[in-house]
Structure 1
């Protein structure tokens, strides 16, 4: 069967999905639906999406928004076409001029509808020479993956598209789109029919390889680049093991601009490799602490000094030695202060003013405190959230601030990765403290290998709900649109290292996740 790629993601290959053809209102109970042909489970691991879509996401790869799934038998032991009869015929429209089609029927299930919405005998036109565009009223969210059927006779027709593509199907209920069906859809179809291994994400060009990203030791997010200050997209500052500091501008599509391509913001070196940042910068975070509507970088140094570098952008040059003090440097805690015992700092909006200038701090003894309205004059309104305790002392490995509940009250949530791999989100920390706890993921081996975690605004919405992760093997991922109770779709920015093979004069070196791992490597091992 065929659907839209944006309805699925790489992790769905390992979840329990099913297809219920002919779903309609139950005549005996209008509030329920009925599957007249039965329910056909999707075979585990049998979902085919284009690897470029998995890597680049629904904006950059919007012309690849289709996917194939292989079903198993229903409860009566019937295979899909034995129960329903022959399916629709996959039909390509290889030339852009062929996107203007007549006698096309559009079908979809808006929202929680129990019956399909059918828009019969209309026509399509080309949009941007890459998409089918069709005008049909009432196609509200939920219709994605619905078929464009040419010459539909009430039972079957030529399937020339599925709702998706441009803006994942369109911004308005009266206009829908489909990616163009061309050689790419045929390749994916043949992959599914022949049961070839599904594509794997291939990473983003220019992001470097896993060997490089093993050396990313810390990161912070904010709207740093002048272009991002206009688009309100999140950028990433990365601290490397050699002390280099790099700014990656966000691309509004769960990724970052790398290098310096014409018409795009440039990746920028904020500090060349140096001993100061390599050996003495302990924790970095970012927020608008100085109230200038521009993001600042906060650094906690190993000796307890805390420094704010005001209004970071692509022109900023950070100091590379202790005797350099640029004009945007503000010292808010001196050497030898209590802050040398701060093990984790999460910036967010936790009940202070309108700026992202509040902190949650985990201390070496497990105490957790909150500071609101931090500014150039220092730390204010300290509130103890937890007294010293062994749980947070020994087991809270990483803390970070984000906005995962989609609320409009601007109260951030606290993301915690524990030493056993459990992920927890504490919702609306400003209002609830640490009382509203959601277990995002139970204890697991994979997440024990997450080394850098930074929630940010890397996608298309306005919330800091996209979770950047650097794994122990150097793989880099973003989990876009993560919610308080569910991880978002995985986007692979940097693939795992090449799999190990034979080395001269030695036996085969078997891979495992014992010492280093990431989601890509784990999938490889699971399939093996």
Structure 2
């Protein structure tokens, strides 16, 4: 950055010369001086149009109903700062996502209905009137930009020879000085520059075909851009960091995440640390939730890292569509089934087949192992749950309730098959009244507890279940309680407290969704309403 004079003066120059970069007359749209993006590339890049062409900016789809961009895009006078008032946009704003070529009809155009500004930096979350389907959002970086690191930038602004380009443009930039919430950018090629209309656009890492959003572009000298004074040769730019405010982003977008789903159609719930590359219970983030829907589709809700108890999840990943093989799932549980530390799912299918996916994440299901073939006695397994019922801390055990009312414990169960069965109870009509079961850690015993919801509304904890059987029971809810309306439940760590598996998430038959944080031997301690 040498030769530019005092840094404070340079930053002021950036703001006054380009924060109003999207302010235009007429209906012109405006892009990064660089190469035209290939058809279908960087579809998470969004074009924002304010006031029917009076102002244009670029943004990034970070969740199917939210775009992240620069707050100064919406400021009355961007030269006076980026602080804006949250709520509905003052002028009609439309957002186009997934359209590399603006002259085509690909992608989606939708109205913006709410602004949630960050306040302490040039960032705003833009809520869309409806979710955008079929476009993978960019993920937020978890590490800060590094000086000398190469990032890619995309934008719909002007180029060196186009006032209103029809295509998304892209160029590589190198990271310069990193100072607090901002960092400098310099083009890797002679022509690379950010121009009017590129404000709010993404600066991102590319790895394994995925985009990791590092910053949101906020200012540029605009050297080489159409309409800039030819005497201006400086092409440096400034971007606002997002890696250190991921919690705020997650908390904002999570507000619309769960209410979008029709929870009355959820037929199976399973918790686990599925995403994050084998995250263990001492992680700072909350557990994920796997859901199978009535139409055969399957979703994975990623656990959030922020502290707001009302929003335990930060993203939904659609793993399978309607009509998939998941319509044949009859019992599902999450757990550790290998010694790698990753977590997966064990499933009892309608055919009697029992299988384990040793790992599940946002990309799908990995390494399926068949534990029992079609037509096996496992077609009589009515309810299953995985938990640490023996001293083996590396793999979970499987507790099974059969349709004749008997229960069994399978220890040392995993990708290599079922090793050992211990019958805990014989056929018992009383156990046929169990509606849901789940493993948890409510009492601090050496082995996992078993949570059972009975069909009369009672909910009980069986503490410290092991190969010797059951050792008493603890009453959580009484007979004929409102828990008769609990259609599905999952036990996990949804509060980002201590990783202990003692939060009970319930899907009610009214389509509401809630959870009870920190349940223990003393009972339930409040309810957090998520949907309803």
When normalised by structure 2's length, the TM-score is 0.49
When normalised by structure 1's length, the TM-score is 0.50
Structure possessing the higher radius of gyration over alpha carbons: 2
- Structure with the higher fraction of residues in strand conformation: 2
